[in-house]
Amino acid sequence: MPILLDLNDRTYNEQLENAMRKIWPFSFYFLYFAAMASLLPFLVIFYQSLGFNGTEIGLLTGIPPLITLFGAPLGTRLADSTHRHGLIMGSGLLVAVAVTILLPGVRSFILVFELIILFNIFMSPVASLSDSATITMLGAQRAMYGRIRMGGTLGWGIFALIAGALVENFGLQIAFRLFSVIMFINFLVSLKFHFGEKSGQTSDAGGMRSLLRRRRWIVFLSRAFLGGVGAFSVASYLYPYLAELGAGETTMGMAAMIATITELPV
């Protein structure tokens, strides 16, 4: 009987551990995109409220993708070389929280610009590191990555509506507070991530050269780049456009939620 109980306990613990390897990444994606949906679509409206002109707003919205383009590979390379994946990810999340707390009190374009640069430098490798950790934690079940990643879709859709309603009733300040709270909780969730060791002897430069020699990968990366440009443009300027049409923030959030629903069947 004691042996049977021990086997049952061991089986239960294994099942629980296996379940948590899915729950932690799912929760991370949910919270990460919930935080993003709570703030990012409102940033252009925030810039407009500060009286920034079109050129200044264009610079503030155009610089983040460029920083991510270079910052993501550099950040992940640093994580691989130092084996400090968790530290780099956690630092990025905490810096994002700190910047978001400071940003509402800033009125100078230069200071806002510097904070936005700081935010994006530290956040640029976070998505890639979370993907790497998720694949590692799923192990042989990595085919479930798409289902785990669905947490991000749900987080964005649900909190786009919630944030819209809150902003309409309490003002733009609530968007920054909501982001800070959710992202700090997400930092705590990220502490449960496990990262795999970098394997193989191929250098980063050699791997990139090998990748770029393959035409299908060039086509894929080009399509991904163009799709990202379109998606980012919509995410940045949809709410200001709706505001010009006279829509309230709740309606804006509802529009974002409806757009997100199209991802669910995928």
Helix axes 54-82 and 85-102, enclosed angle (nearest 10): 160
Q: What pLDDT score was predicted for residue 222?
A: 79
Least confident of 17-26, 51-60, 101-110, 228-237: 228-237
Q: How confident is residue 20, by pLDDT bands cut at 50, 70 and 90?
A: confident
Hey, what are 245's tokens? Answer: 């049409």
Hey, what are 172's tokens? Answer: 């733009």
Q: How confident is residue 17, by pLDDT bands cut at 50, 70 and 90?
A: confident
Each residue of 101-114: pLDDT tens digit?
999 999 999 999 99
Instruction: Quote the CA–CA distance of 122 and 126 in Å, as a whole number.
Output: 8
pLDDT greater at residue 113 or residue 264: 113
Strand stretches in the chain, DSSP E: none
Q: What pLDDT score was predicted for residue 2?
A: 53
Q: How confident is residue 211, by pLDDT bands cut at 50, 70 and 90?
A: low
Q: What pLDDT score was predicted for residue 103?
A: 95
Instruction: Quote the CA–CA distance of 18 and 15 in Å, as a whole number.
Output: 5
Domains defined along the chain, listed by start: 2-195+205-261 (1.20.1250.20)
Instruction: Quote the CA–CA distance of 60 and 28 in Å, as a whole number.
Output: 27
Q: How confident is residue 8, by pLDDT bands cut at 50, 70 and 90?
A: low
Amino acid letter for position 100: T
What are residue 74's phi and psi, to 5 degrees?
Answer: -70, -40
Instruction: Quote the CA–CA distance of 86 and 89 in Å, as a whole number.
Output: 5
Q: What pLDDT score was predicted for residue 265?
A: 57
Least confident of 44-53, 105-114, 156-165, 190-199: 190-199
Q: How confident is residue 180, by pLDDT bands cut at 50, 70 and 90?
A: very high
